[in-house]
Structure 1
Amino acid sequence: MPEIDGYQVLEKLQEVGHPASVFVISADIQTGAIQKTQRLGAKDFIQKPLSADRLHQVLYEHKFLESAPVELIQPKALSQRLISQTEIKDALAEMSNLAMGQAAALLSKLLGAFITMPIPKVNVLEVSELTMAIQAAHYDNRVSAICQGFMGKGIAGEALLLFHDASYTDMAKLMGQQLQHANNTRLEVLQDTANVLIGAMLSGIGDQLQVQFSQSHPVVLGQHANIGELLDSNASRWQRTLAIEINYQVQDHNIECDLLLLFGEGSLRNLASNLGYEVTQ
């Protein structure tokens, strides 16, 4: 929804006294997100991915259906659906959205704070286009970056975490750390954040693809650097790539980081195949 989000829709319904019964279906499974939808009048919260029997059960429990769900007969496996590169980007965005919800829930639990999550951006880009897009979004920020490779079943790539330097103080406080020994503590904060977000994202994506990713040792690409300098010095690591970009912010705190999942172009068909699609030319 380009203008308002789901919370604002619920607020508007309350403001006008609309009698609609609302069931929230979302990948954002943070405790705070579920509680907020309940405070705003939602009948129930259903975690994505949604299944027909789960929806039937919820509607039955709230007396919108008279009969309880019966065990569904699993359909026979269908041949893979042909899909364009534009359509597969939408499918990958939804896959990322589900995984992002899991990662945010873990980070929220770790920090005791609410994580705001926009819709993931998915694009196939040349490395020059990728670096230009990131620089345009963060032209005046100094960041630290950590990168970790991953691979499994013909799918390979790198996870790149860009952590805004202005976020260190608040992040350290939420993690119960003190920035007395600045360099060591900042590196620890960076590594801890990367472990949670990268690990949770790859786990969430792997579950959907039925792939268990193996991960290489994380590598610190740079600390407290201008984003342009950092990307230019590491551009040779990436070629034409499928980029999934996710921005995480912590509500009421000066904390922001960007997680990019960079898949080699050769992984696109295997990603699509594991989701049940075949990409057309």
Structure 2
Amino acid sequence: MTTRVLICDDSRFARRQMARAVPKGWDVEMLYAENGQQALDIIRQGQADVTFLDLNMPVMDGYQAMEQIRSEDLPTMVIVVSGDVQPEARKRMQAMGALDFIAKPVDTEKLAGLLTQYGLYSGDMEKRQVEEDTASQSDRLDVYRELINVAMGQAGDKLAQVLGEFIHLPIPNVNQIASSELRMAIAEIQHKAYVSAVSQGFVSAGIKGEALVIFNETNFSSLVKLLKYRSQALNEQQEVEALMDVSNILIGACLNALAEQLDVKFSQNHPIILGRHCDLEQLLKNNVSRWNQVVAIEIGYSIDSQDIHFDLLLLFPKESMDVMFDKLMYMSGRADGYPA
């Protein structure tokens, strides 16, 4: 009997990755949705026996969609597939009725084992074939976004472990821009006039980049308390340590996750503080990238319960992103094209 499987993810690349991970021997009819609202429309029509649901999506995210599935008692079994691997994310979704939780990128063998465990599938674990086509520029940005989505989730999980708080993760913003536009792009994501910032460069074979962590001016005292320093009094030394510690956690975990997906190793420069409680315009003017074209990736982390907000900005020259794209296609077994 054919099982109707719905894959809900805002990334076209991620949807096809998920489709490829579904065992070839499983008799399924595939349906796709780009956000929770589209998924609900399909589920309400009785067209989804099993739903693979992402968490961070526009229009309606996975949490909102799961709440509707529960409140309406809709007929589908939900398995969450997300880059956000925080235990709290898993706990929230399973409390609302999700069957289980799979971390991105999806491991085919683990997926087959999970499906077998729940009596949904029994058979071989061979990957399903998915049609491919060539990659347009928008497709490439989508691939970069999903690559960063996985790294962002692992960095958020690492920070959550250290701070003991749930980290709100956004949809990463990926844009290819001229370096002359970089100051304007950063100013748009950070609306505070005064900020503190830490920068760190990194390099691997054919890949180089810069990471910039920008902190707004809210609640440094709460950040120091969450880091559990011996002295809880907020002073200049504690603030500097907090800036460096949080930046090291975010940048290190994010680069480790990127390296794992690309099968590379990054060498990292020593992090430096670009400025503390300084004017954003002046900070950007003094530190704008010298590359002609950059791919700017912005991730806005927040700890809502503590009113703490900061942005991680990854900057890559276009040539480095081309190398990363080729490596990811090769690692995914699709060196000649991009999935349809």
Deviation at 1:73, TM superposition (A): 8.2
**C-alpha spacing 1:73/1:9, structure 2 compared with 1 (3 Å):** closer
1:138 to 173, 179, 190: 190
CA contact (8 A) 1:248 1:258 kept: yes
Deviation at 1:71, TM superposition (A): 5.2
Match of 2:12 in 1: none
2:247 is aligned with 1:199: no
Deviations 1:17-57 (A, max 9, x none): 22321111111110101111110100111111123333222
Aligned equivalents of 1:222 and 1:37: distance in 2? Answer: 39
Deviation at 1:141, TM superposition (A): 3.9
Q: Is the partner of 1:162 in helix, strand or coil?
A: strand
Q: Which moved more, 1:141-150 or 1:45-54?
A: 45-54
Match of 1:19 in 2: 75
Match of 2:202 in 1: 150
1:186 to 239, 258, 261: 239
CA contact (8 A) 1:272 1:278 kept: no
Match of 2:144 in 1: 92
The one-letter code sitting in structure 1 at the alignment partner of 2:315 is: L
CA contact (8 A) 1:88 1:279 kept: no
2:304 is aligned with 1:251: yes
Match of 2:295 in 1: 242
2:270 to 213, 217, 237: 217
Q: Is the partner of 2:305 in helix, strand or coil?
A: coil
Match of 2:178 in 1: 126
Number of equivalenced pairs? 274
Deviation at 1:179, TM superposition (A): 5.5
Aligned equivalents of 1:81 and 1:121: distance in 2? Answer: 24
**C-alpha spacing 1:107/1:97, structure 2 compared with 1 (3 Å):** same
2:285 is aligned with 1:232: yes
Q: Is the partner of 1:252 in helix, strand or coil?
A: helix
Q: Is the partner of 1:222 in helix, strand or coil?
A: strand
Unpaired runs of 5+ residues, structure 1, are none
Segments ≥4 residues shifted beyond 6 Å: none
Aligned equivalents of 2:288 and 2:107: distance in 1? Answer: 42
Match of 1:208 in 2: 261
Deviation at 1:181, TM superposition (A): 5.4
CA contact (8 A) 2:220 2:239 kept: yes
Match of 1:57 in 2: 113
Aligned equivalents of 1:25 and 1:247: distance in 2? Answer: 21
CA contact (8 A) 2:112 2:125 kept: no
Aligned equivalents of 1:199 and 1:146: distance in 2? Answer: 13
Of the two structures, which has the highest relative contact order with CA contacts closer than 8 Å and spacing of 6 or more?
1
Aligned equivalents of 1:95 and 1:262: distance in 2? Answer: 14
CA contact (8 A) 1:146 1:219 kept: yes
- RMSD after superposition: 2.2
**C-alpha spacing 1:73/1:238, structure 2 compared with 1 (3 Å):** closer
Aligned equivalents of 1:160 and 1:30: distance in 2? Answer: 23
Match of 2:59 in 1: 3
Q: Is the partner of 1:190 in helix, strand or coil?
A: helix
Deviations 1:233-252 (A, max 9, x none): 21255542111111101131
Deviation at 1:279, TM superposition (A): 9.2
Deviation at 1:275, TM superposition (A): 1.0
1:40 to 96, 99, 111: 96
Q: Which moved more, 1:193-202 or 1:131-140?
A: 131-140
Aligned equivalents of 2:134 and 2:207: distance in 1? Answer: 20
**C-alpha spacing 1:171/1:216, structure 2 compared with 1 (3 Å):** same
The one-letter code sitting in structure 1 at the alignment partner of 2:70 is: Q
Deviation at 1:74, TM superposition (A): 11
Correspondence 1:256-275 to 2 at 5 A: 256-275=309-328
